Amino acid sequence: GAVVSQHPSRVICKSGTSVKIECRSLDFQATTMFWYRQFPKQSLMLMATSNEGSKATYEQGVEKDKFLINHASLTLSTLTVTSAHPEDSSFYICSARGVQGADTQYFGPGTRLTVL
Amino acid sequence: DQQVKQNSPSLSVQEGRISILNCDYTNSMFDYFLWYKKYPAEGPTFLISISSIKDKNEDGRFTVFLNKSAKHLSLHIVPSQPGDSAVYFCAASYTGFQKLVFGTGTRLLVSP
């Protein structure tokens, strides 16, 4: 149990385009999902917390108009990187609060975004 | 301000021996701690957790120890296996705080 999927696993796009990444909890309902970004050889950086049916809460320094988050259902959250630039190239990972303890998060496999 | 620290960026251990990964925290409000394992280009996998009401939690080859007075926790893997080679992150949270605060990770290499 507690499986989280992400789609796509990797995407390459041109500068200026928008990219949508989906995060799904496959076997449990997730009222809260999180979006992280990981730079090479660095830790996970929390970008935003997404609660179902409400606006996402963004961490300091994260542009909410650039990284649009929608959590329309208890099993799906999406992250849209708008007007992508090469500096947005990164590894994006989502997680969902799961059944094994209220504070345990289960992570998706991540999405490698490359902006040309 | 790094509230969760993993001071050893890497650790090398021989197969069959014990691996000990350490983590220190500064926020005394933290009352729940987790360890995650991460392979390159994959999401972290939950390994084991511990609540502050305990000082030890064991799951198979993995044991987490918590020393609240020292604000220190450690993950013991015994016996270590080559498949354990990965980056290990500790994370902390507290009741009512939805987020996890991650350490910077320790890369474990278990050689045959």
pLDDT tens for A50-60 read: 988 888 999 99
Determine whether the interchain pair A103/B46 forms a contact, defined as Cβ–Cβ distance below 8 Å: no
- Which CA distances in Å does B3 have to A5, A89, B28? 29, 27, 10
Q: What pLDDT does residue B96 have? A: 75
Rounded-to-integer distance, Cα B80 and Cα B111, Å: 9
Residue A100: per-residue pLDDT: 52
Contact A43 B98 (CB under 8 A): no
pLDDT at residue B88 above 90?
Answer: yes
Question: Is the model's pLDDT at A41 over the cut of 70?
Answer: yes
Confidence at residue A103, expressed as pLDDT on a 0 to 100 scale: 66
Predicted pLDDT of residue A31: 82
pLDDT digits (tens, 9 = 90+) for B9-53: 999 999 999 999 999 999 999 999 999 999 988 889 999 999 999
Q: What pLDDT sits at residue A6? A: 96
Number of residues that this document lists for chain A: 116
Question: Per-residue pLDDT tens for B47-87?
Answer: 999 999 999 999 999 999 999 999 999 999 999 999 999 99
Q: pLDDT (tens digit, 9 = 90+) per residue, A80-97?
A: 999 999 999 999 999 998
Residue from the list A6, A91, A104 with its beta carbon closest to the beta carbon of B46: A104
Closest alpha carbon to B102 in B110, B112, B92: B92
A104 to B34: CB separation less than 8 angstroms, yes or no = yes
Structure-token pair, residue B50: 């511990």
DSSP letters along chain A, please?
A: ---EEEE-SEEEE-TT--EEEEEEESSS--SEEEEEEE-TTS-EEEEEEEETTS--EEPTT--TTTEEEEEEETTEEEEEE-S--GGG-EEEEEEEE-SSSTT-EEE---EEEEE-
A3-12, A80-89, B73-82, B90-99: which range is least confident on average?
Answer: B90-99
Nearest to B99 among A46, A91, A101 (CB): A46
pLDDT averaged over every residue in chain A: 90
How many contacts (CB atoms, under 8 Å) link A and B? 54
pLDDT of A98 reads 64
